[in-house]
Structure formats: C-alpha cells, structure tokens
Structure 1
Amino acid sequence: MLNYGSGIGLWIVTMVIDEIDGALRYDAGDDGTRITLRIEG
C-alpha cells in the first residue's frame, strides 16, 4: 500500500523497506495514523 502525498519521506521509507523484505503497516483511525515498521535480521 502506498499513498502519495506532498512529501517523499514515507515514500522513500516504503521503497527501502520493500527492498530489504521488511514490513510497513499504516493504521488510520479517528485519533490519527499509526505506522508500524518491522525489520528482522
């Protein structure tokens, strides 16, 4: 999942995480958005 906005910060993070087989999850709720980043080594 990738939504484009005015910045490129999360877009770059998403590309890097995809490249290293990590996981990035966005959970949007009434109180804001939670972003979970998972990297296993």
Structure 2
Amino acid sequence: MFSQDYFRSLIQVLSVTFTLKKKQDIVGIINQQKVALRI
C-alpha cells in the first residue's frame, strides 16, 4: 500500500502537469485567433 505522502505528491505532480497543459491549450487557442484575425 502506498504511503499518504507519496500519494499526495503524485496528485500534486498530476495537477501541475494538468495546469501547464491547460495553459498551453489556452495559448494555442489565442495564437489561432491571432492568425485568424490576420487573414
């Protein structure tokens, strides 16, 4: 059975990764809109 500290740190890493991915998605959407505005 996993220790609680390990589980907590794993959740922390997953949430940070998810947040970074969300930010990348938002930046990608903004860049797409900038390109669309240029056309």
Q: Which has the larger radius of gyration?
A: 2
One fold, TM greater than 0.5?
A: no
Larger % of helix: which? 2
TM-score normalised by length of structure 1: 0.36
Larger % of strand: which? 1
